[in-house]
Amino acid sequence: MENMENMQPISLHLADRPRRSGWVEYINKTGFVPRPEEVLFTTLPRNIYAAEGYDGDIPCVTEDGRLDWFASHPLAYPEEYQPSIKSRSYDVSFLSANVPGPTYLELPMQAEIEAALASRQFKVLAISAYTWMIPWALKLAESARQEYGIQEVWLGGYGVMTPEPRIREVFDRLYWGYGETTFREALGMSPIKPAEIEHPMLINESTYLAHKIKIGHLFWERGCTQRCTFCADPVFQPGGEPTFSVANVRKVLERYKAEGVMSVHLVNQDVRPFTVVGKQIIELLHEFGLPFTMMTSFQALTAKGLDGIKWLADRGLTMAQLGVESLDDANLTWAHKTTNCTHIRDTVRQMDDLRIRLSATYIIGFENDTPESIRRAKQRLGDLGPIYTYFMILLPMPGTPQYYDMLKRNLIKDWDFRKWTGGYLVWRHPVIQPDEARALLREMDLAINTPQYNKRLQREWTRINRMRERLLQRERQGESADMRARARVYYHPDSYAKLLTDRFGVKPGATLPSCDASRETPPTPMASKDSRRL
């Protein structure tokens, strides 16, 4: 990757962007309108970067062609107990349901993309990519034009925000935000409003504690209205997107129920359950007898206080996936997170009382972090007892306030975008080195997501085993069990396996941190402004 230290930043300021709608940045204003069947749309291939021998971490892509955010996080317990949520690509799913005609390749092999191009039946290649895929996308776009006679190449997805100058030399159009309308218009079709969007079937496979269940993923709005300084969502489509129609959501839930879905995962970037539409969706889930989990923020979850959380539990909420991100109030304030450590701790206690489980995301390597502070926070995070935590190293997401701040201070030093996955330290941290950051990331994964260390996780899994045994005994006796009970124990009718916690050992080459080791360094004295820190 060429040196980019003197690169002129591309203006992505929110004031320059249309709000609450996708838009197109025309690099070459050709006015070309292809027929739908002349367009080939592809995501990344499953074997991305394999031909060049790149051996770095490739996140979330499985060998059988699905996305799985657990794929790059092998943990210290037997393979059959590895958590997994295999899902379809959201962009292909929504576009193929709402923009008929193009050929869509969803997580293909590289050879499949090349074979489609070699057919020479397409005039446009459209690529959806994240920043870490941009080197591959640029190479594919160039070869498509030079070797296969492609007339135009278009780029969409979060990768459009990548500060790589060659993007605007190679691509003809950049598609910002959610693209059903802009893609339809590019193909000569009429635009479509969010309320008219057809929600695709997103039935996925979830594995937890050696049990597989069908889960349905559900959106009713996309985008995020919050302004966390490290997050790309507010830049990709400022203000989020208007809601889908409740009638269309009902149709999706009817199909999920008919297909035997056991639980629904609400995957809005920030589920706001107490808005007018949010309440309607929650009531629909309750009407269909479908327990649910959701991605949300502490602010949205607690908007109606404890009574609101009780209402959600009564309607079937079994797990909330929350952005903890840090257990240092200074970091949370700097990142413009709408929570603090006391709020996090109190909310999780209320969730525990209502048997709502916590799954978390967590960032290490804030500028204020040290190896010692990260290890102290490890113990406090373990005490919160998340059933799973997804860790990443602080990444200057292109287009975010954090990115521009680091660029201005000349802190970004690794411009190999293949490493911009959250698994590498690509900027100059004041006290943490890149290899040390990787080791700390692994240490956190092996500790917090392992029952020997996370004692509350161990108790949770033991409880689930007891519930599963009682449930199976009832069903052997001919008694019925409701969907909520089945979802709580991650029930699968063909599985009678037990979770044996004494089987959990460290894989060869992995080092499990000692629980006592994290207590060796006492907490530093806290200033008054940090008095709410855990």
Per-residue pLDDT at 210 = 55
Residue 521 lies in a domain: no
Whole-number Å distance between alpha carbons of 461 and 180: 42
Residue 354 lies in a domain: yes
Same domain, 377 and 411: yes
Lowest model confidence (mean pLDDT) among 29-38, 324-333, 474-483: 474-483
Per-residue pLDDT at 24 = 93
In the numeric block, which tokens belong to residue 529? 């402004």
Is the pLDDT at 492 greater than 60? The verdict is no
Q: Which pLDDT band, with edges at 50, 70 and 90, does 52 fall under?
A: confident
Same domain, 246 and 104: no
Same domain, 183 and 213: no
User: Which DSSP state fits 227?
Assistant: -
Is the pLDDT at 355 greater than 60? The verdict is yes
Residue 529 lies in a domain: no
Residue 523 lies in a domain: no
Mean pLDDT of the chain: 83
Per-residue pLDDT at 145 = 96
Lowest model confidence (mean pLDDT) among 264-273, 275-284, 509-518: 509-518
Question: Per-residue pLDDT averaged across 373-378, rounded?
Answer: 93
Last-in-domain residue among 489, 506, 529: 489
Q: Which of 114, 112, 108, 105 is nearest to 61 (CA)?
A: 108
84 or 330, greater pLDDT: 330
Per-residue pLDDT at 13 = 42
Q: Nearest 5°: phi and psi at 250?
A: -60, -45
Whole-number Å distance between alpha carbons of 371 and 518: 11
Per-residue pLDDT at 388 = 85
Question: Per-residue pLDDT averaged across 80-100, rounded?
Answer: 85
Same domain, 184 and 251: no
Q: Which pLDDT band, with edges at 50, 70 and 90, does 361 fall under?
A: very high
Per-residue pLDDT at 531 = 26
Last-in-domain residue among 129, 162, 192: 192
Residue 41: CATH number of its domain: 3.40.50.280
Query: What does each C-alpha distance from 109 to 67, 84, 105, 146 come to in angstroms?
Result: 14, 21, 9, 21
Is the pLDDT at 45 greater than 80? The verdict is yes
> How crowded is residue 405: how many other Cβ atoms within 10 Å of its Cβ?
13
| 420-438 pLDDT, tens digit each | 999 999 999 999 999 999 9
Question: Per-residue pLDDT averaged across 343-359, rounded?
Answer: 94
Residue 3 lies in a domain: no
Residue 385: CATH number of its domain: 3.80.30.20
Residue 508 lies in a domain: no
Whole-number Å distance between alpha carbons of 362 and 27: 37
What's the pTM? 0.83
Same domain, 221 and 184: no
In the numeric block, which tokens belong to residue 236? 């990709």
- Helix (H) or strand (E) holding 26, with range, is strand 23-26
Lowest model confidence (mean pLDDT) among 145-154, 209-218, 409-418: 209-218
Domain, as residue range, for 97: 23-66+89-192
| 198-252 pLDDT, tens digit each | 999 998 877 765 567 789 999 998 888 778 888 888 888 877 788 899 999 999 9
Is the pLDDT at 467 greater than 80? The verdict is no
Same domain, 215 and 169: no
Lowest model confidence (mean pLDDT) among 60-69, 132-141, 404-413, 483-492: 483-492
Is the pLDDT at 4 greater than 60? The verdict is no
Same domain, 133 and 254: no
List the Cα angle 267/297/329 in 5-degree steps. Answer: 145
Question: Per-residue pLDDT averaged across 362-382, rounded?
Answer: 94
Nearest 10 degrees: Cα torsion 308, 230, 295, 216? 160
Residue 83 lies in a domain: no
Same domain, 173 and 261: no
Question: Per-residue pLDDT averaged across 165-189, rounded?
Answer: 95
Q: Taking a C-beta distance cutoff of 8 angstroms, is the pair 150, 144 a contact?
A: yes
Q: Taking a C-beta distance cutoff of 8 angstroms, is the pair 406, 412 a contact?
A: yes
Question: Per-residue pLDDT averaged across 380-393, rounded?
Answer: 89
Is the pLDDT at 31 greater than 70? The verdict is yes
Same domain, 182 and 299: no
Q: Taking a C-beta distance cutoff of 8 angstroms, is the pair 281, 246 a contact?
A: yes
Same domain, 321 and 221: yes
Same domain, 359 and 213: yes
Per-residue pLDDT at 67 = 81
Per-residue pLDDT at 429 = 98
Is the pLDDT at 534 greater than 90? The verdict is no
Is the pLDDT at 375 greater than 90? The verdict is yes
Tally of domains in the chain: 2
Per-residue pLDDT at 126 = 98
Residue 80 lies in a domain: no
Same domain, 179 and 228: no
Exposure b/e, 160-185, CB count within 10 A at least 16 = b: bbbbbeebeebbbbbbbbbbbbbbbb
Lowest model confidence (mean pLDDT) among 70-74, 180-184, 354-358, 465-469: 70-74
